[in-house]
Structure 1
Amino acid sequence: MFKFKHVFVLVLATLMFVIGFAAVGGQSSSAQTIKFTSAMHTSKNLTYNGTIKYYVKADAKRYSPEITYATKKWNRALGKNVFKRTTQISHSRLVFTGTNKLGSNYAGVAEINSGVIALNTSWMSRYNQQKRRAVVIHELGHTFGTKDLYAYPNASLRSLFKKQTIMGGNYSSQIKSFDSKLAKWTLKKTRSMSQTEFRHYRSNAGLYYQQMLTGRL
């Protein structure tokens, strides 16, 4: 979920942990290391047989350039074609939709259970291309099972994530080393839903997929 808020630059002390994290400030910045923990992921991801087939609904086609950009960026960062576009919604694991019915604080939300990314047309229409790309990249990050890092329980790391990471909500349209490593790690730590389980969620009237189809999302 991508919250709309200004991310203020914070001066942070150097942290020493376990897995490599390149500072956004530039290639010459000193490396910081962060330990990946279970607080960074949920229980499941959207892949099926190693891919996520996605469909762009008519109300989201205005964002097709940003969606194409974001899926290519993630495929390159992961080193394989995880995201593949389909022209049939019934063949999809993920549907993009545009809506003006999201909470006003959110530029976009991702619901993994039923496979929907909803983009808030109110905010997206005000954003420049770079910010629209950033929102889509962030929401796609959730499809691997990764949580919002701006809600991470450790306050010092939470501040760092907000400033420097995609999943922390820094509005970057570039996928850096930390985010790509986190995505790969998350995919290994979460499970792919079976088709039976996934269809069960898609038939649930209280989840985003059915709300989208009935015009409530």
Structure 2
Amino acid sequence: SVNEVYGDNNLKKKREILKGNKNSGFSNNQFIIDFVNDLYSDFNVYDNYLKFFDKSFVSPLSRTGINTYNYVLADSAYIDNKWCYNIIYYPRRTNELTFKGDFWVSDSTYAIKEINLQASKSANINWVKEIYIEQEFEVLNDSVFLIKRDYFMSDFAFDKKEKSRGVYGKRTTLYDNYKFDIPKDKNFYSEEVFDYDEALYNRDDAFWEQNRLEELNKDEK
């Protein structure tokens, strides 16, 4: 789907306007619907805990992360003209709701430039066999890091057997065209958004060629 997103930090309001949507092969199975909804759940890697599938994982960026993770300096390099450090992290203990992975962090602002998270294999997440996340951020005015790419992949089994069949799902969200200091009347955020226009769900190929920021692979076409 393609959306225009508006927000006002002072009013603490947010509004999304759907510009186009395309679905294929969607099931009416409630388990699959719940699974897809979790794929699109909101989270912030800077929070102390990240909630997925009704489970709260300790974020590697948590204020108390040092009690849960080991951190290793692995590399350093310029990313978008910013000197960054590459930190590998992994859990101190097994059987906890944790991740392993690495992140690149700016040496001056300590803001995250890139991060990936993979749920620990020993974590008990009901029928979820795997969770993997990648996020990338861009720099604004040398100080603000804005998310530009958010990738989430999960493998959901229909039973808890290791080789059981299930559903493999992934979601990629791309952000661009950030604009700031363009105030909207407060009534703008209270207006009801109507997403029932049939044309929104029947956009032609030219629309998707113009608005899709990342090409689909052969499995997604």
One fold, TM greater than 0.5? no
Which structure's residues are more often helix, by fraction?
Answer: 1
Which structure's residues are more often strand, by fraction?
Answer: 2
Higher-Rg structure is 2
Higher relative contact order (CA 8 A, sep 6+): 1
Question: TM-score under structure 2 normalisation?
Answer: 0.27
